[in-house]
Chain A
């Protein structure tokens, strides 16, 4: 009997492994959500309050994932459309100048929800210039509600000082007054880059100048671009493997995969070609991240 107890002790040593083992946890991607309320404004005509929701705590230079939502259970009349116009008002030489910035998305709207969309702020709020956004719900050419929201758009500062490092790329296009505007969005992580493999998209717009007379410039999706993207860590002078160049997924949106092998400073060096015309090569400006 005594021997049996010692054998039991021996066998116990094997049982331990069964008690302390297989960790089956999986990595749950932090999918984009619109959990952060940036601001809200009440429209006195309709009495409705509109909230600006975003996937990050603050709006910032570059691509922002946002949505507009009417607070509470009240709704507008069905069948209208949402019109969203971001504007920056700048004071330059005691003259007021206004310009806009690209937006896209805002599909699958309802009478209380604008649908999810993206605003690519080409610049942050500065001392001489302030952003606001005008949102209207229009039914049969009549605005049922109008909200004007003052916004603060944060800059994206870098510890590295290099004029080629950009969050938003804004380049003149040859043989025209048009420009190309590009920003990036990390799809699975609320536009935050992360260690490892990142699905991302580059939003490309063609900026067509204002016709004058108080009109704002216009932005149209820039289609038919070819991208070659090389991630590069400037301070370590190395890249990363197994990246997938972005390809068009919808008008003006190019989706790819970029791998970050460590936290730190990363450049996305770009080769951008419109048919046979090189718009940007790796020697030029690049997207730049510090995380």
Chain B
């Protein structure tokens, strides 16, 4: 054992020296560093007026890629799309858009959420095979014994002449409870820091969610969820098309059982289904050479079961999960000259069946040292089931007659060390083999507006393989909490689009065609510092600083989505019933973009936000008035990950009123 520990320490030290920065691992935080992280993931009613996108952006463990003012794509340590997992209330959810216009998180509403967690390594692996991490959105269920509660919030935004309204109503009894929560948002296009309108940044959205909880007896609990979410008239200025509607239905039934006198202490199970229909639209665009219809549909059904065992030395978890995801998208192009219309299938009924088993054990080696090991084995079969789509692939030289089966998964090993009451550290490594996504395997001429290439899938793709080393250090004393996290990842068979000179682009104006291929090698580094303190009961301060870099050898290019140096500070003052806060953000700008993959340089910027909350307790309930000024100095800036250099919103004054009892 000692040898193993020494070995791991050596590896971490070597890794730490070899990368330009080091330390810290986020995956620890939810488990080891505990409360601080969990509380920051917990959604409070202060968050309800934010969009899910804004919540993600505010999370220091995440970044987002923007194509407009809606449906920002989450990025974890520079990894995105198929490299990360999104779980909504335990459900696997896959967007219905071939152009990634609707990441699963775009169907979320904060008023529905209990937690929005960003997880790494073992914590992420129980939700899916992902080398980047996972986003786990836990929905809010009624609290039993709470007779009736109601909350209403509404806010007006000056920049977009828009409103955000949400409501929740919860009624529960001793054994059963019900909760409805919903939201409606509508925003017109925003103006940037130069006062120029950024066209096609408008959107409307509504969400209705019902949850219920039934406590059958002391040890047995049932839950149910139904959610409807619909976006309308959503603009995507970075893309050539907008979205007329994006509709999601999600439902699940959960079961939890506790045992007092058996080996396993808890059994949890859930069965679920979700369906997404996504309709792209270019009828609001001017000078469209050829109008196109591009609907997409994603349906996912699954079931999972978890068994937990706790003893003095071990915390053991066993999970099995199964899901089936079907994707269909096609494209009709209307002849501008009145000729025959054109048609193809971009996702030709792609069906993925997955079965996985996940095992985790946290072993208390001694009072100060825990060893956490986890293993996920996942078998998938992916098939292109549409005859027409199979015929399409013939032109690329592929003969697709049946499903492709693959075995992948993750292994993670982490040491959690409590040096003393103040200092704690964790270090470890993980190895992941993730599967190609539906688009990477079977996408057919999917236009990527970022690098202006049509992308085609490659059914022969190998799994992407990543080895990560992480180090996390934390100091906590009294109100002070300071930490650092570092991660270094080496990737073999990195999946990326490579130009195929023999292929003609289909999309008018596209530069050519890229086919997904495995290339060697890629690597990335992530380093962050964070800290928080409460100087007094009424004065608090938070800070985080992050920088990332990465490189793809085969392309002689930086990896995309590597965050330039970003500093965020947050000060909050509470004076009687008034809270005054300020946020300051500095980004050094994207100085080494992955131009080959469509990234562009961006300038550095300073951003200041201010807010004031006035809290007025009433005889029944609580009334709160909020005013926030975002981008106080009306700075013109472009987010480093923004597609096609679309500028961010200029100054926005947001005034809101909240009531709840």
Q: Is the CB of A262 within 8 A of B392?
A: yes
Chain A contacts for B503, CB-based, 8 A: 241
Query: Nearest A residue to B510 by beta-carbon distance?
Result: A238
B-contact 0/1 string along A1-30, CB 8 Å cutoff: 011001101110110110011111111000
Binds A, one of B84-92, B154-162, B329-337: B329-337
Choose from B351, B383, B405, B506 the contact partner of A236 (Cβ within 8 Å): B506
Contacts of A261 in B (CB 8 A): 344, 392, 395, 445, 506
A249, CB-defined interface residue at 8 Å = no
CB distance from A159 to the nearest CB of B (A): 5
B305, B339, B392, B502: the one contacting A10 at CB < 8 Å is: B305
B35 on the A face (CB < 8 A):
no
**Chain B contacts with A in 380-425, Cβ cutoff 8 A:** 381, 383, 385, 387-388, 390-397, 401-403, 405
A241 CA / B505 CA spacing, docked (Å): 10
**Alpha-carbon separation in the docked complex, A242 to B324 (Å):** 34
Contact B402 A195 (CB under 8 A): no
Cβ of B304 within 8 Å of any chain A Cβ, yes or no, is yes
Residue in B403, B405, B502, B508 whose CB lies within 8 Å of A237: B508
A278 CB-CB contact with B under 8 Å: no
**CB-contact partner of B402 in A11, A23, A241, under 8 A:** A23
How many of A's residues come within 8 Å of B, CB to CB? 45
Among A241-270, those with CB < 8 Å from B are 241-242, 259-265
Q: Establish whether residues B387 and A27, one from each chain, have CB atoms under 8 Å apart when the complex forms.
A: yes
B16-47 to A contact mask, C-beta < 8 Å, 1/0: 00000000000000000000000000000000
Of all chain A residues, the one with the shortest Cβ separation from B397 is A242
Q: Is B173 an interface residue (CB 8 A)?
A: no
Closest B-chain residue to A262, C-beta based? B344
Taken together as a complex, chains A and B put the C-alpha atoms of A283 and B176 apart, in Å, by 77
Measured in the bound complex, the distance between the Cα atoms of B395 and A194 in whole Å is: 11
In the assembled complex, which residues on chain B have CB atoms less than 8 Å from the CB atom of A22? 381, 383, 402-403, 405
Q: Is the CB of B394 within 8 A of A259?
A: yes
Chain B contributes a number of interface residues (CB within 8 A of A) equal to: 58
Q: Is the CB of A241 within 8 A of B303?
A: no
A160 interface residue (CB < 8 Å to B): yes
Q: Is B262 an interface residue (CB 8 A)?
A: yes
Q: Is the interface of A mostly helix, strand, loop or mixed?
A: loop
The reply to whether A264 and B342 form a contact with Cβ atoms under 8 Å apart is yes
CB of A6 within 8 A of CB of B267, answer: yes
Known: A23-B383, A197-B394. A17 touches B355 (CB 8 A): yes
Determine the residue in chain B with the shortest Cβ distance to A261. B395
Residue contact A235 to B342, C-beta cutoff 8 Å: yes
CB proximity of B148 to chain A, nearest CB, Å:
35
Contacts of A172 in B (CB 8 A): none
**B309-343: which have CB < 8 Å to A?**
318, 320-322, 324, 333, 335-343
> Which residues of chain B are near A263, meaning CB under 8 Å?
342-344
In the complex, chain B residues whose CB is within 8 Å of the CB of A7: 307
Complex contacts, B221 vs chain A, CB 8 Å: none
A262→B391 contact, CB < 8 A: no
B521 within 8 A of A: no
Distance of A27 from chain B, by nearest CB (Å): 5
The one of A13, A26, A262 in contact with B342, judged by C-beta atoms closer than 8 angstroms, is A262
Complex Cα distance, B384 from A27, in Å, reads 12
Is B519 in contact with chain A by the CB < 8 A criterion?
no
A105 within 8 A of B: no
Q: Are B353's CB and A17's CB within 8 A?
A: yes
Could you tell me the distance in whole angstroms from the C-beta of A147 to the nearest C-beta in chain B?
38
Residue B633 is within 8 A (CB to CB) of chain A in the complex: no
Residue B263 is within 8 A (CB to CB) of chain A in the complex = yes
A32 at the interface (CB under 8 A from B): no
Residue A77, interface by CB 8 Å: no
Question: Which of B340, B351, B354, B505 counts the most chain A CB atoms within 10 A?
Answer: B340
Say whether B504 faces chain A, with CB atoms less than 8 Å apart: yes
A240 at the interface (CB under 8 A from B): yes
Interface flag for A196 (CB, 8 Å): yes
Q: B391 touching A196 by the CB < 8 A rule?
A: yes
**Shortest Cβ gap from B643 to chain A (Å):** 24
- The smallest C-beta distance from B31 to any residue of chain A, in angstroms, reads 23
**In the complex, A28→B155 CA distance in Å?**
59
Within 8 A of A (CB), among B343-362: 343-344, 351, 353-355, 357
Q: Write the nearest CB–CB distance from A259 to chain B, whole angstroms.
A: 4
CB of A290 within 8 A of chain B? Answer: yes
Smallest CB–CB gap between A194 and chain B, Å?
6
CB neighbours of B341 from chain A (8 A): 264
Partner of A240, one of B340, B354, B504: B504
Are B395 and A23 touching (Cβ within 8 A)?
Answer: no
- Nearest chain B residue, comparing its CB with the CB of A241: B503
Chain B neighbourhood of A160, CB < 8 A: 337, 339-340
Q: Contact: B339 with A13, CB < 8 Å?
A: no
Q: Quick check: B402 and A24 within 8 Å, CB to CB? A: yes
Interface residues of B in 234-269 (CB under 8 A from A): 257, 259, 262-264, 267, 269
Chain A residues lying within 8 Å of B395, measured Cβ to Cβ, are 196-197, 240-242, 259-261
Judging by beta carbons under 8 Å apart, are B342 and A236 in contact? yes
Q: How far is the CB of A40 from chain B (nearest CB, A)?
A: 35
Interchain CB contact under 8 A, B339 and A238: no
Residue of A nearest to B445 (CB): A261
CA distance A205 to B393 in the complex (A): 34
Once A3-B262, A262-B343 are accepted as A-B contacts, the answer to whether A13 and B321 lie under 8 Å apart by CB is yes
Report yes or no: A13 in contact with B403, Cβ–Cβ below 8 A.
Answer: no
> Would A241 and B344 count as touching, CB distance under 8 A?
no
B355 touches A14 (CB 8 A): yes
Q: Cβ of B383: which chain A residues have Cβ within 8 Å of it?
A: 22-23
A244 CB → nearest B CB, Å: 12
Known: A9-B269, A13-B304, A263-B343. A20 touches B337 (CB 8 A): no
B322 and A16 within 8 A (CB): yes
A182 within 8 A of B: no
Contact, CB under 8 Å: A238 / B344: no
The answer to whether B391 and A290 have CB atoms under 8 Å apart is no
Q: Find chain B residues with CB under 8 A from A9 CB.
A: 267, 269, 305
| A235 engages B257 (CB within 8 Å) | no
Q: B392 to chain A: which residues have CB within 8 Å?
A: 195-196, 261-262
**Residues of chain A with a CB closer than 8 A to B337's CB:** 160, 235
**A18 and B432 alpha carbons, distance in the complex (Å):** 25
Q: Is A239 an interface residue (CB 8 A)?
A: yes
In the complex, A265 Cα to B335 Cα: how many Å? 9
| Bound complex: CA A58 to CA B355 (Å) | 51
Asked if B305 and A17 make an inter-chain contact with CB atoms under 8 angstroms apart, the answer reads no
Docked complex: B114-157 residues within 8 A CB-CB of A: none
Q: Is A233 an interface residue (CB 8 A)?
A: yes
Provide the bound-state CA to CA distance between A64 and B169, in Å: 71
Q: Does B290 contact A (CB under 8 A)?
A: yes
Q: Once bound together, how far apart are the Cα atoms of A238 and B342, in whole Å? A: 13
A243 and B379 CA atoms in complex are apart in Å by 36
A13 with B388, Cβ < 8 A, contacts A21-B353, A159-B339, A241-B502 known: no
| Whole-angstrom CA separation of A25 from B267 in the bound complex | 39
> A13 with B387: in contact, given A23-B402, A235-B335, A242-B395 (CB under 8 Å)?
no
User: When chains A and B are docked, how far (Å) is the Cα of A237 from the Cα of B396?
Assistant: 19
CB of B548 to closest CB in A, whole Å: 37
CB distance from B529 to the nearest CB of A (A): 42
- Does A3 lie within 8 Å of B269, measured CB to CB? no
User: Told that A159-B340, A236-B506 touch, could you supply 5 new A-B pairs with CB distance under 8 A?
Assistant: A25-B385, A196-B390, A234-B339, A242-B397, A262-B392
A-B contact pairs, 23 of them (CB 8 A): A3-B264, A7-B307, A13-B303, A13-B305, A13-B355, A16-B303, A16-B322, A17-B354, A21-B353, A22-B402, A23-B383, A160-B340, A196-B395, A197-B394, A235-B290, A235-B342, A236-B506, A238-B506, A261-B344, A261-B392, A263-B343, A264-B342, A264-B343
B interface with A by C-beta (< 8 Å): 257, 259, 262-264, 267, 269, 290, 303-305, 307, 318, 320-322, 324, 333, 335-344, 351, 353-355, 357, 379, 381, 383, 385, 387-388, 390-397, 401-403, 405, 445, 502-506, 508
Please give me the 6 A-B residue pairs with the lowest Cβ-Cβ distance, nearest first: A196-B391, A264-B342, A259-B395, A262-B344, A197-B394, A17-B355
